Chains A and B, each alone.
Chain A
């Protein structure tokens, strides 16, 4: 008897402990989420600029035609020791306005220091700098508040001589002269005001929700019967914010993320409005319920309690985690990741921009290829296929494929996608071939995971749907798939994170060791530059260098890879939670 008492006591202790650890870690997660949200709000609240039709800087350049915002040329005045020689670069800004023509020269000194950021502001008084220092491979921005076109021209310094293979013989020097227009057009003013307003409203609502005050609650209870209307208004505002931002220059490269930044900004604003609408709706609904229960609406202590107890905190942290999971990827701005290419001379000035984008493109292509096919196959095998010999054979093949070493998939990719002639598609050692190979590798894993998820859907779900006369497809689409979704998602994301860390197949497919430009995803089709690399390959090559400094860089890249993997897995967890919650009461 005594022993049992002891055991019970211990298990109770353990339970309390896990409870406490669980809620504490959730609270911490929530705090982290809050931090990210803070960063988000700060980023938004900072004056945001968007590209406008007017006031563009036009590149006067023979060497790179039709590129409005980006100048890219070889920088030949580096001697073999990496020291700079020759004339400095001078850029001339010219424009005409009602006061006549203006012409301003800005000298650009390239200095060896790693990272310097300088901006140029142009307004009716002229250009605010005559000389700027930039680090090698550093972006600088030119902001114009003028309503007339500005031309920019290089008038001195080494003339670029990029050959048309796009493969630079010497270091590439990039000046990315994005034109940002400050509040130049009414439309944009409206949209930015809307966006700021959205954030403010959300903040106010969160405050009201967290510290409900009697007067505010009784005010709100007056509009309680219009709750649907209120929500509708907020949704319309969301749509408005989003729609006002759709303005792309027709020359914009659709694959450049930066061209979508205004829309992403607006999407955030729209999301805010939608969230405001939902929160307000819920609040009004809660008030209505309190009223229906014949309770005093002034009894805000109940509301307070339901927000501040453990469930309330859980709800908040979940919401924050969810928001931050969606938006953190958009906010990544780490030079090592997104700005710096590999520097052949200076290890510590290197970054993994090329490999990072390579990885993203390979993953995206692999996803697009593998997810629809594999989920379809899983549905077919689980829901449609008759259990005959052929099905059994296919099943056995798929199961075995999941265990095949990844290098074999690399050979497969080499034979089918890379090589020309025979069964080969002749895509060359390109991002597309790599993505397809990785997609094929992910397929058996996704199929098996999907089947497992579909199999674990209880029979009652199928029966209830068949019972009212659904066709097989309706049962699958409306009932089985939604229940199996968490499992399918998890399987998919796990498969993706597995192929993200794979180097072996891509060594066979032909990833390159050193790349000084962004990979082009569709190069194999439109005849662009095929070369690409991914993070694991970059790590592999860096560790092979004799200099220890490169090993540190490899370590940094490894950490990046691990962070990416953790991020993928947390997305899997959040998605699973989300879908599960929708299914449960």
Chain B
């Protein structure tokens, strides 16, 4: 089944998509509605382990929706319902009786606007750890230090651990949120435009951090910056009007995309 979108025939969106190496998360034929309005149409997408997958596309095309589906964050929206399957190894994330707490522990999320808890920096990172494990004081201190170091913010906050997390700068707050997410040792980290509220220097710091995180985690990132997608990601998916119209290795997508539509979007000659 092929469709005509944006004046162009798009290949069948349910065709088999492939990545090199192990697949961490598999999305199969996902449809999603907000009330009567359909926001995702038959999206299938594999997420490769220990890689960075970028989702790009014009505003309102459903990137955030797809990302939020991966850890069932959309369940918070009462009018949202869906059809399709997302699985992570043997666990089916979209199952009715899925353990949402476990899923969200394993698939952490970093939001567009930095949103640290109104607690101290120490508690911001420690809170999640204490929820899932019962560490001793020393263990907790060690985990917090390690997480902050991995999020490349330790040097800036080590002498003010008991200040409020909200008293940091925007870029620092975002890195604190990343530290908070990695402290609970997830497998996958979802990032929804993590740099859109930051200046170029903070953005560079986060991009560097993402490349670093790739070694231990699988990262899925939504971004509006083509250059950012090109710099940090291994795979790129291009979404348009609720469909995943093209997916492949980043080099391929950015140098020689299959579709004219993708090319026009990437080069900024769009709409």
Q: Which residue of B lies closest to A292 (CB)?
A: B159
Highest count of chain A CB atoms <10 Å: which of B110, B115, B180: B115
Contact B104 A469 (CB under 8 A): yes
Contact B109 A585 (CB under 8 A): no
Contact A468 B118 (CB under 8 A): no
Min distance, Cβ A451 to any Cβ of chain B, angstroms:
16
Q: Is residue A309 within 8 Å, beta carbon to beta carbon, of the partner chain? A: no
1/0 contact trace for A452-472 toward B, CB 8 Å? 000000011111111111110
Q: Is residue B102 within 8 Å, beta carbon to beta carbon, of the partner chain? A: yes
Contact A469 B117 (CB under 8 A): no
> Residues of A contacting B1 with CB < 8 Å?
none
Min distance, Cβ A466 to any Cβ of chain B, angstroms:
6
Q: Given A469-B102, A469-B104, answer yes or no on A460-B111 (Cβ-Cβ < 8 Å).
A: yes
Q: Given A469-B101, A469-B128, A470-B131, answer yes or no on A462-B111 (Cβ-Cβ < 8 Å).
A: no
> Residues of B contacting A468 with CB < 8 Å?
104-105, 108, 127-128, 131, 180-181, 184
Q: Which A residues from 381 to 409 make CB contacts under 8 A with B?
A: 387
Q: Is residue B44 within 8 Å, beta carbon to beta carbon, of the partner chain? A: no
Q: Is residue A129 within 8 Å, beta carbon to beta carbon, of the partner chain? A: no
Q: Which residue of A lies closest to B102 (CB)?
A: A469
Contact A467 B131 (CB under 8 A): no
Q: Which B residues from 101 to 134 make CB contacts under 8 A with A?
A: 101-105, 108-111, 113, 115-118, 127-128, 131-132
> Residues of B contacting A474 with CB < 8 Å?
131
Q: Is residue A66 within 8 Å, beta carbon to beta carbon, of the partner chain? A: no
Q: Is residue B76 within 8 Å, beta carbon to beta carbon, of the partner chain? A: yes
> Residues of B contacting A466 with CB < 8 Å?
73, 76, 104
Question: How many Å lie between the Cα of A266 and that of B108 in the bound state?
Answer: 49
Contact B166 A584 (CB under 8 A): yes
Min distance, Cβ A327 to any Cβ of chain B, angstroms:
28
Q: Which residue of B lies closest to A288 (CB)?
A: B159
Q: Given A469-B104, A470-B101, A582-B118, answer yes or no on A478-B76 (Cβ-Cβ < 8 Å).
A: no
Q: Is residue A482 within 8 Å, beta carbon to beta carbon, of the partner chain? A: yes
How many interface residues does B have (CB within 8 Å)?
30
Q: Which A residues from 249 to 301 make CB contacts under 8 A with B?
A: 292
Q: Given A464-B117, A466-B73, A585-B167, answer yes or no on A471-B101 (Cβ-Cβ < 8 Å).
A: yes
Highest count of chain B CB atoms <10 Å: which of A465, A468, A471, A585: A468
Q: Is residue A583 within 8 Å, beta carbon to beta carbon, of the partner chain? A: yes
Min distance, Cβ A124 to any Cβ of chain B, angstroms:
57
Contact B115 A469 (CB under 8 A): no
Question: How many Å lie between the Cα of A395 and that of B13 in the bound state?
Answer: 45
Contact A467 B109 (CB under 8 A): yes
Contact B184 A464 (CB under 8 A): no
Question: How many Å lie between the Cα of A470 and that of B128 in the bound state?
Answer: 8
Q: Is residue A419 within 8 Å, beta carbon to beta carbon, of the partner chain? A: no
Question: How many Å lie between the Cα of A470 and that of B113 in the bound state?
Answer: 20
Question: How many Å lie between the Cα of A310 and that of B71 in the bound state?
Answer: 48
Q: Which A residues from 536 to 585 make CB contacts under 8 A with B?
A: 582-585
Q: Given A463-B73, A463-B111, A469-B131, answer yes or no on A585-B166 (Cβ-Cβ < 8 Å).
A: yes
Question: How many Å lie between the Cα of A463 and that of B112 in the bound state?
Answer: 11
> Residues of B contacting A387 with CB < 8 Å?
78
Question: How many Å lie between the Cα of A482 and that of B127 in the bound state?
Answer: 15
Min distance, Cβ A474 to any Cβ of chain B, angstroms:
7
Question: B105's contact among A459, A469, A479, A582, by CB below 8 Å, is which?
Answer: A469
Q: Is residue B164 within 8 Å, beta carbon to beta carbon, of the partner chain? A: yes
> Residues of A contacting B111 with CB < 8 Å?
460, 463-464, 467
> Residues of B contacting A459 with CB < 8 Å?
76
Question: How many Å lie between the Cα of A467 and that of B113 in the bound state?
Answer: 14
Min distance, Cβ A286 to any Cβ of chain B, angstroms:
13
Q: Which residue of B lies closest to A285 (CB)?
A: B162
Question: A469's contact among B118, B164, B184, by CB below 8 Å, is which?
Answer: B184
Question: A467's contact among B71, B159, B164, by CB below 8 Å, is which?
Answer: B71
Min distance, Cβ A456 to any Cβ of chain B, angstroms:
15
Question: How many Å lie between the Cα of A469 and that of B154 in the bound state?
Answer: 24
> Residues of A contacting B118 with CB < 8 Å?
482-483, 582-585
Contact B104 A585 (CB under 8 A): no
Contact B131 A461 (CB under 8 A): no
Question: How many Å lie between the Cα of A245 and that of B113 in the bound state?
Answer: 51
Contact B131 A479 (CB under 8 A): no
Question: How many Å lie between the Cα of A469 and that of B184 in the bound state?
Answer: 9
Question: How many Å lie between the Cα of A478 and that of B127 in the bound state?
Answer: 10
Contact B104 A463 (CB under 8 A): no
> Residues of A contacting B113 with CB < 8 Å?
460
Question: How many Å lie between the Cα of A483 and that of B108 in the bound state?
Answer: 23
1/0 contact trace for B55-82 toward A, CB 8 Å? 0000000000000000101001010000
**10 contacts across the A-B interface (CB closer than 8 A):** A461-B115, A463-B109, A463-B115, A468-B108, A468-B127, A468-B131, A469-B102, A469-B131, A469-B184, A470-B101
New A-B pairs, 8, CB < 8 Å, besides A466-B104, A469-B102, A585-B166: A464-B117, A467-B104, A468-B104, A468-B108, A468-B131, A468-B184, A469-B128, A469-B132
